[in-house]
Structure 1
């Protein structure tokens, strides 16, 4: 495994601080202090706090978008696609729970170009998810509940996984995947 670059270290440290305090409350001095370096040293690797935020959010949004595009373009049935979406969210959460806090809570602080790009990716992701669900209902692969309730309840659970899972000590990733798929797709009754 390769060593992290200094820029990656800065972004990871910032992800943790943004999760703990929120983007607006974190200063470059806070970040430098957390890393044990001088604030001026940060600027050797990054241009601004905004660059850090954009890197965190856009990288994660692109992971979700690329994953969703692969799922949408696959020949799998609705249930298999939904399982892969759940797996995608779990995998991204396990790799970067701290960054997901910024994705979910701080995206509105992105500057205009990145904000528009992020909002477009998010909208397309949700529309792809909605289309998968609609096709599944039309093919009688899933129950005919209200589409918006299915989309909301599933994505809300998956999007907040980053808050809950890091506190779990006795749930391995494979159990999480298995049980999340079972609960979200089959229910508990």
Structure 2
């Protein structure tokens, strides 16, 4: 792995685990096994590194979603795949999940705007295209944010799920959760 990507990997983990404010450039350099001044050969400052890190972490997921949006499958199949991929990504990639959660909790307007406009915007526009086909007269912004909320909540509640009433092993299976979210979501379109 080259130095640039080693820095991004180390930074993603540190930012996810500790948050933007708590991480220093020295911390990132140490975790990357380079000297702190060397970071500035790749990134002009901490904010630039953080923004690049967010784009890098989200790019893989966004690329997977784009391939779904560009597929020849039905609109409903595309929606189902988006839900499955998003649940899997949120469950399997702790850095991805924690970065989103931290940004929402920190509520820093500038960083949220960057995340929405520079990292998630294109994917949300593509999602809007699916929703326009399924429910042309619906409030697509509301549907997109509702879908995001359903996916994030089901992942976040996972550790507590077994202690809630009527818990069953199927409630921990991504396929079951994905199908349930899809059915709940799609029933409003018919």
1:19–1:98 CA contact under 8 A, matched in 2? yes
CA distance in 1, matches of 2:77, 2:93: 24
Deviations along 1:135-182, one digit per CA (max 9) or x if unpaired, are 1235xxxxx97644432221123356775568999x89x921x12222
Call closer, same or farther: CA 1:37–1:146 in 2, change over 3 Å.
closer
Partners of 2:58 and 2:96 within 8 A in 1: no
Q: Report the counterpart of residue 84 of structure 2 in structure 1.
A: 87
Unmatched segments (≥5 aa) in structure 2: 163-168, 186-190
Q: How many residues align?
A: 174
In structure 1, the partner of 2:16 is 19
The SS at the match of 1:23 is coil
CA–CA distance in 1 between the matches of 2:11 and 2:161? 23
Q: 1:165 to 1:149 in 2, by over 3 A?
A: same
1:129 CA displacement: 1.4
Partner of 1:155 in structure 2?
148
User: Which of structures 1 and 2 has the larger relative contact order (alpha carbons within 8 angstroms, sep 6+)?
Assistant: 1
Relative distance call for 1:147 and 1:16 in structure 2 (3 A) is same
When the two structures are superposed, what TM-score results if normalisation uses the length of structure 1?
A: 0.64
* 1:36 CA drift (Å): 8.8
C-alpha spacing 1:159/1:107, structure 2 compared with 1 (3 Å): farther
Structure 1 gap ranges (5+): 139-143
Paired residues for 1:112-151 under 5 Å: 115=114, 119-120=117-118, 122-137=120-135, 147-151=140-144
Over 3 Å counting, the alpha-carbon distance change for 1:17 and 1:162 in structure 2 is farther
Aligned counterparts of 1:179 and 1:37: Cα–Cα separation in 2: 42
Two-structure CA RMSD over aligned residues (Å) = 4.3
TM-score by length of 2: 0.64
Mapped partners of 1:73, 1:53: distance in 2: 29
CA offsets 1:74-112 (integer angstroms, 9 cap, x no match): 2212221111112322343355321443356179449x9
